[in-house]
Structure 1
Amino acid sequence: MTQAQNNPRGILFILLGMALFSVQDALIKFIYKDAALYELYFGRTFVALILLLGYLKYSKQKIILKTHYPFLTILRVICFFFGFSFFYISLTYMSLAMANALFFSSPFFVSILATIFLKEKVGIRRWSAIFIGFIGVYIVLNPDFNNFDYMKLAPVACALCYAISMIITKTTSDKDNVYTQMLHLYFGAILISILFFIFTGEGQFNDFTNPTFQFIFREWFTNSSYAWPFIIAMGCIGAFAFFFVFSAYSIASPSVVSLYEYSLIIWSILTGYILFNDIPTPRTFVGVSIIIGAGIYIYLREKTKDQLIATDTPTR
């Protein structure tokens, strides 16, 4: 079947993948008071790694760890790891919908970075869409400059780190296949998490009363019987989400299915309302609409110019 014929199936897969990512985020928000951030990161990634290795063995695909771009691979792993650290941290004090809406500023950063590092030409229309998109980010943040809480920028920091990793992916994908790059991310995340365990795992720096900082520096394995079933479920859900997303990009047109990644915001609104009774404010809805609109316009311009930068690789 052609990509066009597979597009409906690809759209279904991307919708399922985004729904699972929203559930994964909800689980993080649900248990952050009962686990340490990097304990959670370690467990989630370890489970996902086991499932990925099992899939590669089952499908008889060769496991390749060697990279043709060692420096860029290390940089990508670091950016991805700390980027999603910022995102997970934001879930401790921010609604699912707001965190994911701010994360979707990543196409704006990707377009900006592409002009610098990939020498892609971005015209006045896309620059205008980027500017308008950041207005949407401003509306969602609703900053009070007299007493601005910089922690609100955590999902935006995630978006920037993610954009850097995607620009690197654009370069490394010509020689390193997608599974090799995923293995790098997983092994890198496990290694960095273990380093955090060595230096902070006994809670020696946890002198904070703020729940967010307690989440970052809490002692590991203090409530394993309660937290780890959620962490294992999180790893399984994340792995299946990746499977659906990468399957969507494999069988359908990336320029079609990428648009449906914005459904993550809708799923996050629904999940947040059902599980946490979070109802976005009208201001948040306005900002989200502007971010989505600007992102879609950037996609349309990239497709017109045949410069798919921000929309030909899956999120997360």
Structure 2
Amino acid sequence: MPTQNKVKGILFILLGMAFFSIQDALIKFIYEDAALYELYFGRTFVALILLVAYLKLSKQKIILKTHYPLLTIFRVICFFFGFSFFYISLTYMSLAEANALFFSSPFFVSILATIFLKEKVGIRRWSAILLGFLGVYIVLNPNFNDFDYMKLAPVACALCYSISMTITKITSEKDNVYTQMIHLYLGALLISIVFFIFTGQGQFDNFSDPAFQFIFREWFTNPSYAWPFIVVMGCIGTFAFYFVFSAYSIASPSVVSLYEYSLIIWSILTGYILFNNTPTQRTLIGVAIIIGAGLYIYLREKTKDQLIATDIPSR
């Protein structure tokens, strides 16, 4: 691989992770002025338009047919509700904590790979997985006498995302990446519309908790303020995906995937600049353990020549 492509790939993955951190920050910034699935719908609609425009301009054929209809439906549902959990967590958790917990996904992917992909995971990687979950425990800092289970939302996101990515390992054999992205976008739009039909008038918004208000708030209560942010969010998310997929296409996944952990660093910086969130020492220790365990799993995958989680973008 040419050195120029390697450097360019690393630059692209760093930019992609930076854009994702900005997107997350925008969600955290406007969650009190929009409903969760209104935001999800708008962001996805903009992203779909930009993706279709890109495919048209690059004269690539838009393929909607999938060779794995049932797996595709299940993958779309897992991905949609996974990131619903993540966006909900941003209403009460710092960007750094949410993203650190999200990066427990390689541990889940490794576990799921042993079950569904028949990958062999040895004692060293099992030890790394356990160590990684120890890092998750440290970040969560649970008080079992009064534990707030809402703190597990990013971990639930990681689990749903891992299921989705495990399915992607199978569907990628015949469905191309753009077809799979369109499926995710169309599925998200359809599910969001269902939520609008049943909750869009705010008929279930009887909660005092900000997270549940975010879920069940009436749609379009402040469109002149919220929707410019939502449109920008959709554009930023599209650029993030563009940089990430470009990085994976021009450089070796074994190189660029390591730099996805920069998302945690970007989240710490963004959280500090925009929300004055400073990670605690305990959080930083937990983050270091999660990253260390994730990197070790990555190295073992490459040593054993098993492509479990490292050849697929994290978002």
TM (normalized to structure 2)? 0.99
Instruction: Supply the distance in 2 between the matched residues of 1:149 and 1:209 (Cα, whole angstroms).
Output: 16
Equivalent residue, structure 2, for 1:48: 47
| Aligned partners of 1:248 and 1:257 also within 8 Å | yes
Q: Which SS does the other structure have where 1:290 is aligned?
A: helix
Equivalent residue, structure 1, for 2:258: 259
Equivalent residue, structure 2, for 1:306: 305
Instruction: Supply the distance in 1 between the matched residues of 2:120 and 2:208 (Cα, whole angstroms).
Output: 48
What are the superposed Cα offsets for residues 98-125 of structure 1, whole Å, 9 maximum, x if unpaired?
0000000000000000000000000011
Equivalent residue, structure 2, for 1:61: 60
Q: Which SS does the other structure have where 1:144 is aligned?
A: coil
Structure 1 counterpart of 2:66, which letter? Answer: T
Instruction: Supply the distance in 1 between the matched residues of 2:4 and 2:229 (Cα, whole angstroms).
Output: 38
| Aligned partners of 1:4 and 1:252 also within 8 Å | no
What are the superposed Cα offsets for residues 40-64 of structure 1, whole Å, 9 maximum, x if unpaired?
0000000000000000000000000
| Aligned partners of 1:203 and 1:218 also within 8 Å | yes
1:12 maps to 2:11: yes
What are the superposed Cα offsets for residues 279-309 of structure 1, whole Å, 9 maximum, x if unpaired?
0000000000000000000000000001021
Pair 1:274–1:294, CA change in 2 (3 A)? same
Once the two structures are TM-superposed, the CA of residue 7 in structure 1 deviates from its matched residue by 1.1
Mapping for residues 14-29 of structure 1, pairs under 5 Å: 14-29=13-28
Equivalent residue, structure 2, for 1:271: 270
What are the superposed Cα offsets for residues 158-188 of structure 1, whole Å, 9 maximum, x if unpaired?
0000000000000000100000000000000
Structure 1 counterpart of 2:303, which letter? Answer: T
Instruction: Supply the distance in 2 between the matched residues of 1:109 and 1:155 (Cα, whole angstroms).
Output: 13
What are the superposed Cα offsets for residues 4-46 of structure 1, whole Å, 9 maximum, x if unpaired?
5411100000000000000000000000000000000000000
Q: Which SS does the other structure have where 1:301 is aligned?
A: helix
Instruction: Supply the distance in 2 between the matched residues of 1:3 and 1:160 (Cα, whole angstroms).
Output: 36
Q: Which SS does the other structure have where 1:263 is aligned?
A: helix
| Aligned partners of 1:3 and 1:253 also within 8 Å | no
Instruction: Supply the distance in 1 between the matched residues of 2:74 and 2:224 (Cα, whole angstroms).
Output: 35
Q: Which SS does the other structure have where 1:60 is aligned?
A: coil
Instruction: Supply the distance in 2 between the matched residues of 1:3 and 1:140 (Cα, whole angstroms).
Output: 39
Identity of aligned residues (%): 85
Aligned length: 315
Equivalent residue, structure 1, for 2:96: 97
Q: Which SS does the other structure have where 2:178 is aligned?
A: helix
Instruction: Supply the distance in 1 between the matched residues of 2:2 and 2:177 (Cα, whole angstroms).
Output: 19
Instruction: Supply the distance in 2 between the matched residues of 1:134 and 1:142 (Cα, whole angstroms).
Output: 12
Instruction: Supply the distance in 2 between the matched residues of 1:23 and 1:43 (Cα, whole angstroms).
Output: 17
| Aligned partners of 1:3 and 1:251 also within 8 Å | no
Q: Which SS does the other structure have where 1:203 is aligned?
A: coil
Instruction: Supply the distance in 2 between the matched residues of 1:28 and 1:220 (Cα, whole angstroms).
Output: 15
Return structure 1 stretches of 4+ with deviation > 3 angstroms: 2-5
Once the two structures are TM-superposed, the CA of residue 3 in structure 1 deviates from its matched residue by 5.9
Once the two structures are TM-superposed, the CA of residue 82 in structure 1 deviates from its matched residue by 0.0
Equivalent residue, structure 1, for 2:208: 209
Mapping for residues 1-316 of structure 1, pairs under 5 Å: 2=1, 5-316=4-315
Instruction: Supply the distance in 2 between the matched residues of 1:101 and 1:172 (Cα, whole angstroms).
Output: 28
Q: Which SS does the other structure have where 2:40 is aligned?
A: helix
Long gaps (5+) in structure 2: none
| Aligned partners of 1:255 and 1:308 also within 8 Å | no
Instruction: Supply the distance in 2 between the matched residues of 1:180 and 1:4 (Cα, whole angstroms).
Output: 31
Structure 2 counterpart of 1:55, which letter? Answer: Y
Pair 1:204–1:70, CA change in 2 (3 A)? same
Instruction: Supply the distance in 1 between the matched residues of 2:282 and 2:14 (Cα, whole angstroms).
Output: 26
Instruction: Supply the distance in 2 between the matched residues of 1:177 and 1:107 (Cα, whole angstroms).
Output: 23
Instruction: Supply the distance in 2 between the matched residues of 1:225 and 1:45 (Cα, whole angstroms).
Output: 18
Long gaps (5+) in structure 1: none
